[in-house]
Amino acid sequence: MSINHQSIINNEKNDLQLNQSRVPDLPARLGKVGRSVYSQLLHRLANYNGEIYPLHVGDTYLPPAVSMSMIDQVENTAWRAHRYTQVRGHQALTQRVVEWLSERQGMPVQEDEVLITGGGTAGLSALVGALLMPDDELLLLAPYWPLMAGATRLHGAKPVAVPFFQESLTIAQGIERLNQALSPKTKALYINTPNNPTGEVLDKKWLSALVDWASEKGLWVISDEVYDLFCYEGEHQYTRPLDPKRVISAFSMSKAFGMAGYRCAILQGPPEVLSATEKVLTNALYSAATPGQLAAHLALSEQGLNWAKDASVAYQKVGREAAKRLGVPEPQGSTFLFIDVSKEVAKGSTFESEQGGVDRLLEACVDRGLLLAPGSAFGPYPQHLRLCFTAAEPEVVLRGVDILVELLGR
């Protein structure tokens, strides 16, 4: 039997051309990471002409503590705001942060315990990259800030939700839940107080118990404290003084001083952890934007603290009124309400959903110009909604709240 060599050559050429036309697959882990947890329904606004109530994203209606005009006035050759700073942050800002945190936490803070990052999201993502290996697990007290779970998946690790807030747990019950979620792969515990999305605040007794448990289990503690200046009942309890060798804390200029667009935040932790995090940042973001660092330097002052105090009073007032109208507990801190709508989306209800979630209710809200975040973004909460009561002027927020009250029949 003769061999058709030309046919073999042609087949090989076709295979080569086919391979040359293909591109590699994207990493599978990216399929677990969403681009945005809020925007699935925004297309429904295309034909809407009424007032918009953008209560789905955590932001502020207030002018920032430091304006761009103030930055322009202060910027000088010493700062050179058009140039890079050290990855660790501008020296003047680092020194200001050390003074600020030392005073607020009642303990000495060293410069090598501070790292300036291009926003809290970038900083916490880099921290996860420094602490966790692929397949490691991070316990998140839930409901939690959504991008923390996303950052964990981005680095190939696994976020593990531990239902905690709005559960009226005793300390013993909370610790038992952590024990049930613990595995040999667990490397860290994530705590967020004041909490996004529930508005709950953990006191010293709770935080001490959580940090002690993490110490007993040999875990890192990531303490997200970006709403530290917005506690409406009592004082914020800083976590790092409870165990400085184990706790890494995050603070944000976005939340504290209404400067989300300037992208500047602070990580405070053990020097060896921050050195590792700096390596991640160097190869991902490099230094935080210098104008944002200059704004932070100006805000970490009596001027910025007064802004935050005034903002806290205004935030608390509208938060209380929104909670009253919705019939939910008042927020203890942060800028959010986390609303259980399980009755309104239950089987046989107006907004019953085939998936058992809030999709039909969210569609009805969007059709009235009201934007809210689905509870599923914050953990295993498919029948909850998150509302930010500072994302628009108070009168706009309350008009949006009234629409939700009407839809829910409350």
Average pLDDT over residues 141-168: 96
pLDDT in tens, 370-384: 999 999 999 999 999
Flag the least confident range among 9-18, 82-91, 385-394: 9-18
CATH code of the region 32-63+304-408: 3.90.1150.10
Average pLDDT over residues 272-281: 98
Query: What pairing do the DSSP bridges indicate for beta strands 265-268 and 247-252?
Result: antiparallel
**Which comes out higher in pLDDT, residue 284 or 15?**
284
What is the pTM for the complete model shown?
Answer: 0.92
CATH class of 78-301: alpha beta
**Which comes out higher in pLDDT, residue 72 or 88?**
88
Average pLDDT of the chain to the nearest whole number: 92
Q: Rounded to an integer, what distance in angstroms lies between the CA atom of residue 114 and that of residue 98?
A: 7
pLDDT tier at 80 (50, 70, 90 boundaries)? confident
pLDDT tier at 22 (50, 70, 90 boundaries)? confident
Q: Rounded to an integer, what distance in angstroms lies between the CA atom of residue 370 and that of residue 45?
A: 10
Query: What does the domain layout of the chain look like in residue ranges?
Result: 32-63+304-408, 78-301
Give kind and range of the element (H or E) at residue 98: helix 91-105
Instruction: Specify the pLDDT at position 25.
Output: 83
Instruction: Specify the pLDDT at position 11.
Output: 64
pLDDT tier at 26 (50, 70, 90 boundaries)? confident
pLDDT in tens, 172-221: 999 999 999 999 999 999 999 999 999 999 999 999 999 999 999 999 99
Instruction: Specify the pLDDT at position 15.
Output: 60
Q: 93: Cβ–Cβ under 8 A, 6 or more apart, which residues?
A: 116, 293, 294, 296, 297, 300
Instruction: Specify the pLDDT at position 21.
Output: 66
89: which DSSP letter? Answer: -
Instruction: Specify the pLDDT at position 12.
Output: 60
Same topology, domains 32-63+304-408 and 78-301? Answer is no
